[in-house]
Structure 1
């Protein structure tokens, strides 16, 4: 089955474009850029989320093992990002395509204004036929500000730009239903809305050069597909992989997109780490919120304010068993919410349009 997407995000993992010795695989990069150019020529917009800055840095400088690992990563990323974007620039130039560098941190997703500024920047690049090459800014991102890895970043960008598909390129053929070393393990070709508990059989091992394993990929993929975006996980080291995925010619894992979500909900869906406040709701409110009927969170169902927040902040909605059931944009502050908690006939604390439920 061929897929005719208007706009796609291609995420290239470090394990795809890094050789066993830790240096960049320029031949692989060249082949991927050839395919992206062909996809672009066919009329599909492509946004690239690419790892590989640290590997590129490693090709330019030798660092002593005595250095702190975070400092070493910052050094290699800072030098390597220049090399990486120059490599992409040179390769795209051969097809008369301009590419641009976009470096982001989690902070850029922290509020609606930052989010929209970045969205506008990427939209104008696409309008001018430029291929954005996006990477996490490892130079200023330190542990607590880091994305899980570039899979998380790619999922955020896909929902931000209303892409039809996210293609995650890794160094295996997809997600397997068991240990790949054991006979009988097969690729899960399709994951539907019902979802699968991947933790029961997906290896938690990480790739040699990447930060995120298959558990991360499957979690991000499920969340992204739930927002109406198809996700393909495929082997980026295979020749012609992007064209084969789009043509439906290669065995890989595809997450079937669910119903569409509004742009605001897409932003909120990925904002758990940006949530400053938290409210606890009773079982009645939980039932109403998780029912099929569109409902806002009313103060009458709020039993406790677990963390302070201001109007416009993202708040976590927690049930009485302390389980996260959703995220939403607060219509007023925690002081007002505390005052109105348990009361009927008060304004919604979170309006349905700004409410994202985990279920």
Structure 2
């Protein structure tokens, strides 16, 4: 059940916005906007993370499929984004609402200044009559700057804005025990943010026009819930599904929020660019990842240090097998850290308050 004046992020997938032939499904988009307008008039703050720009471009320029895949995606997105936003503008205007466009790349979340600037922009757009509409900036994105898909973008925005709820709308009711076309498939109505057993139900397939699939949705949903927001996976093609699931009804999969970390830790959870690399031994790793304890990174557990970082720089913390354990803020510089490495009774290199464990 929603509390009053909730902050809600709604991510809508390509298969909800398009017909089987890839063209925009204006009827379904209109119904989505009607539901968003209802929630807005109830006093909730909304951000819509919308796919569909490439599909809209393909509808206008079908011959582009002959081009290089990367160039094609950039061009179709550039053309389609205008078509999609104009449609949203008209539909929201019929409810006396405005919409604002925000395009993002991963780099906007890695740099703290960019991150805060985007957060301030979105907070400013959350006025009574405005619905921000976000999408990946496919026109300039290249492989290293691309999100996995808009599920990842929605997860990042949810954490950034300290949103109460993330709703991911796709063409299925939620997480199922088998493929959607399997008569034996059953809906899993509730899921823990830390439940690893669900991966046995998830087939590694993508949607027909989008980049992601259920694996990405569940991974991002559990990650978002661990950062303090309730997450709902629901079918955006069902009539009134968005309003119903937010009211506590309807078919869906719910992932309840865990304890909410600080804003700084939420940013650190987005894998920002780091200036140093700290490798720890197995004992230090076990202590750091123990969720029942509050632990800082002490020099005694460090086995190697790379990078000429300064106090206040970001550090990647790596385990014995070079796996990412966490990211934190250095309390002193690399020279001092190397002097103290392996020694007991020393000041933490990364204090718990400035450490995000994955």
Normalised-by-shorter TM-score class: over 0.9
Q: Residues 124-144 of structure 1, C-alpha deviation per residue, up to 9 Å, x if partnerless?
A: 111454110000000000112
Structure 1 residue ranges without an equivalent (≥5): none
Matches of 2:197 and 2:276, distance apart in 1:
29
Matches of 2:313 and 2:69, distance apart in 1:
34
| 2:209 partner SS | coil
Matches of 1:312 and 1:281, distance apart in 2:
20
Taking a change above 3 Å as real, the CA distance of residues 337 and 197 of structure 1, as seen in their structure-2 partners, is farther
Matches of 1:22 and 1:305, distance apart in 2:
50
Does the Cα contact within 8 Å between 1:198 and 1:215 map onto a contact in 2? no
Q: Which residue of 2 aligns with 1:223?
A: 223
CA RMSD of aligned residues (A): 1.9
Matches of 2:7 and 2:215, distance apart in 1:
26
Moved more, 49-58 or 171-180: 171-180
Note if 1:43 corresponds to 2:50. Answer: no
Taking a change above 3 Å as real, the CA distance of residues 69 and 312 of structure 1, as seen in their structure-2 partners, is farther
| 2:62 partner SS | coil
Does the Cα contact within 8 Å between 1:278 and 1:308 map onto a contact in 2? no
Matches of 2:307 and 2:185, distance apart in 1:
45
Q: Residues 31-62 of structure 1, C-alpha deviation per residue, up to 9 Å, x if partnerless?
A: 00000000011111111100111111122223
Does the Cα contact within 8 Å between 2:296 and 2:351 map onto a contact in 1? yes
Q: Which residue of 2 aligns with 1:123?
A: 123
Q: Residues 221-246 of structure 1, C-alpha deviation per residue, up to 9 Å, x if partnerless?
A: 11100111011000011111111111
Structure 1 position 278, deviation (Å): 2.4
Structure 1 position 305, deviation (Å): 2.2
Question: TM-score scaled by structure 2?
Answer: 0.94
Q: Which residue of 2 aligns with 1:290?
A: 289
Does the Cα contact within 8 Å between 1:63 and 1:72 map onto a contact in 2? no
Structure 1 position 335, deviation (Å): 4.3
Moved more, 101-110 or 349-358: 349-358
Structure 1 position 308, deviation (Å): 6.0
Moved more, 240-249 or 286-295: 286-295
Taking a change above 3 Å as real, the CA distance of residues 100 and 281 of structure 1, as seen in their structure-2 partners, is same
Moved more, 38-47 or 192-201: 192-201
Taking a change above 3 Å as real, the CA distance of residues 334 and 81 of structure 1, as seen in their structure-2 partners, is farther
Q: Residues 299-351 of structure 1, C-alpha deviation per residue, up to 9 Å, x if partnerless?
A: 22111125665544433222223333222223344444333321345442222
Moved more, 157-166 or 127-136: 127-136
Taking a change above 3 Å as real, the CA distance of residues 80 and 334 of structure 1, as seen in their structure-2 partners, is farther
Taking a change above 3 Å as real, the CA distance of residues 128 and 61 of structure 1, as seen in their structure-2 partners, is same
Note if 1:84 corresponds to 2:84. Answer: yes
Structure 2 residue ranges without an equivalent (≥5): none
